[in-house]
Amino acid sequence: MGGGVLGTMMEGRMFDLTGRVAVVTGASRGLGRQDALTLARQGADVVITDVLVEDDPDLQKTAEAQGSMLAQVAVSQGWVHSNSTADEIRKMGRRSLAIKMDVTNREQIRDVFKKVKEEFGKIDILINNAATLDHAAQIPNQSYELWDRDVRVNLTGAFNCTKEVWPYLVENKFGRLIFMSSIAGTLGGFGQASYSSTKAALIGLAKTAALEGGRHNITSNAIAPGIIESEAGKAAADTNPLYERFKARTVFKRFGQPEDIANTIAFLCSNEAGYITGAVIEVAGGIPLFTA
């Protein structure tokens, strides 16, 4: 067994991402944070981006400006870990930065990716994770304002980041694009018209990027999580009795963990997944199955 392989196994890596540079959006907490940590554990250098960064002197105002209840809850509950996540990654011996970035601000995205290229030398991986998830109302009561916000963040935000990172991936002749969809995007979601619609649209964007990226050795895939016990997921499950019904729909009668999503992403970003593109990977504990 070669020393490199042995070293990888001893570090507990599933896949070797050594030398890869990843950018994760919405990575201050929850699934994005776990994605960043997992990619780093597999050897990647990781840039944490989020509109919320804990050393922002106007953090509360920044959260309020997003028009997102979850952003404000994240600040009030201390769920913002952009800088501390970057510190944790650096302690692994990887390079990392935490950078404030709003996925709806195209000029800011362009500047951030330029900075990443200058400081890290390249960009290999983009995880489109940033999203809103707090607009719950049946169609007659859906807010026009929040519908527009969700389209702007969940769908157009992912497009903005993909468009701006594209030249760097083409230059590398290598790229891994991940779009965070949802089981609500494949099944629909009662009272979630804006969320489920934008998450469904991400699948179309991911498949289009796969078609266009193939000639440049760029793969593009979508992840469709079920209910995952992130900070927000746990809080919702504790307060909403419907979540017991959702849990009962899974084959395992339990919710997923952030690691379940992150491990799937690590695989899709690896060389081992080089022939997988345009796929929608459901990590949902079998919720779509007709279970007893």
Query: Which residue's structure tokens are 């404030």?
Result: 100
How many angstroms separate the Cα of 3 from the Cα of each of 6, 8, 19, 35?
5, 8, 17, 27
Among 144, 195, 243, 275, the active-site one is 195
- 114-131: b or e for each residue (b if 16 or more CB lie within 10 Å)? eebbeebeebbbbbbbbb
Amino acid letter, residue 266: A
Burial of 58 (0-12, 13-18, 19+ CB in 10 A): exposed
Rg (CA), the chain: 18
- Angle at the Cα of 153 (from 148 to 157), degrees rounded to 5? 125
215: DSSP letter: G
Q: Enumerate helices (H) and strands (E) in the chain, giving the number of each.
A: 13, 7
**195 carries an active-site annotation:** yes
- 62-85: b or e for each residue (b if 16 or more CB lie within 10 Å)? bbeebbbebbbebbeeebbbbbeb
Q: Which of 256, 110, 122 is nearest to 182 (CA)?
A: 256
* Edge-to-edge strands, sheet with 218-225: 96-100, 45-50, 21-24, 125-128, 175-180, 218-225, 280-283
The catalytic residues are 195
